[in-house]
Amino acid sequence: MYVSNQINLRSLHSTPELKEKVFELIAKTFPEGHACSRAIKIQDEFHMLLQDINAPRVLFLEKAGEIISTCAWAPFTFDLGKSKLKCAAMGLICTADAHRKQGFSSYLLNEAEKLAIDENAALSVLWSANVDHYSKLGYMPSGFENQWSLKKSEAIKLKLATTSTHSTVKDLNEIDSLYKSMHLGPIRDIEIYNSFLKLPDTQLIKTQKAYAFMGKGRDLHNCIHELGGDPHEFKTLLARLLVNIDEENFYIQLPLKSKFTPEVEALFGPPQRGSYALAKVLNGASLTEKLLRSSEVEKGIETDITESSFAISKDKQTIFASNNFSHFLQLFLGPLFIEEFEDLSAEQKQVLGSIKIPALYFWGFDSV
């Protein structure tokens, strides 16, 4: 497809002969992150986005064989119990130095969103510290995670008592079963675990009833970014992970509603607010309907959802209504708690706060 000035929109599916050039630009442009203990190819580090089966969703701009800008996305699905929500994970938004600030990455992101809508994705999510830029493109900080910034020397002093022995993982189905028991996060398959464990500086530790992931290539170094299973096993998992932490500083990141939070707080005190995902509504009616269908809603609260608006009422009295579905995202997924919104009345806060929306948490694991 012709874009302008002999610049063409391509995908790895339509132009596979340019694959190595595309990978070269991404590797050169993407933030360095933490130095790995061994070399890693960009297509291995971002397996979910750059695997061959995802080639139609790896977009780039090309001019006379030169790769100018890239953007890739991958679909994933949240199992919300009573419904399933299709989403799009955007990433590897990179532009060559000589072509920056000309709108190329914004153009590609828009094209990727169109493809995601065609595949029935209701929500687009990306991770970036450049909030101001992406807010102009319709993305907003949505939700946040709890984070603990810790010292290895202080953690060792705790002389953690363990409740069971740890072991190496011989059957990834065991981890998959524990993960599914949490009812939190995207649907996975075994291949995803395998691709993750091939990354340098990553660890998977398990006990009989729980597991922990730490590290991920250049990203999330010395960071425990997923805990699953029985929270009473946390001390055992942490004791084993401390042995392998190679620096003084380490981190724990958990979903806001993680059942492991009380165990971590008992050892290390209250957390800080961690990073946000940036999210954009692609299909507001679908997003709102599916989230509400899987929510806990008190008797007397009703919702009215159309293709272009939503309304929430209590005993037939409208509490909140909007024709902008981003307001729904903002109210229930963050970045603030409902009680922190200054422009809502006490009655609005009470009613909206009583609606328990299921958590949409993207583990660090799932951004591979």
**In sequence order, what are the beta bridge partners of 123?**
87, 281
Q: Work out the average pLDDT over 262-282.
A: 92
Closest to 214 measured CA to CA, from 233, 229, 228:
228
pLDDT of residue 13: 96
Res. 118: pLDDT tops 80 = yes
Domain 2-120 fold is Aminopeptidase (3.40.630)
Average of per-residue pLDDT across 60-69: 94
The span from the CA of 320 to the CA of 288, in Å, is: 14
Question: For the chain, which residues make up each domain, given as ranges?
Answer: 2-120, 145-274, 284-353
Mean pLDDT of 254-279: 90
Return the minimum-mean-pLDDT range out of 96-105, 256-265, 316-325, 354-363: 354-363
What pLDDT is recorded for position 153? 95
**Per-residue model confidence (pLDDT) at position 2:** 47
- Those residues with Cβ within 8 angstroms of residue 17's Cβ, 6 or more apart along the chain or in another chain: none
Q: What is the tens place of the pLDDT at every residue in 124-166?
A: 999 888 889 999 999 998 878 899 999 999 999 988 766 555 5
pLDDT of 234: 94
Average pLDDT of the chain is 89
Place 309 in a pLDDT band, splitting at 50, 70 and 90: very high
Query: 8-47: string of b/e by CB count within 10 Å (b at 16+)?
Result: bbbbbeeeeebeeebbebbeebbeeebebeeebebbbbbb
**Burial 207-226, CB ≥16 within 10 A → b, else e:** bebbbbbbbbbbbbbbbbbb
Percent above pLDDT 70 for the chain: 94
Q: Which of 113-117, 184-188, 198-202, 316-320 has the lowest mean pLDDT?
A: 184-188
Q: Do domains 2-120 and 145-274 have the same CATH topology?
A: yes
Q: How far apart are CA 238 and CA 159, in angstroms?
A: 11
Class of domain 145-274: alpha beta
pLDDT of res. 198? 87
- Lowest mean pLDDT of 84-98, 203-217, 259-273, name the range: 203-217
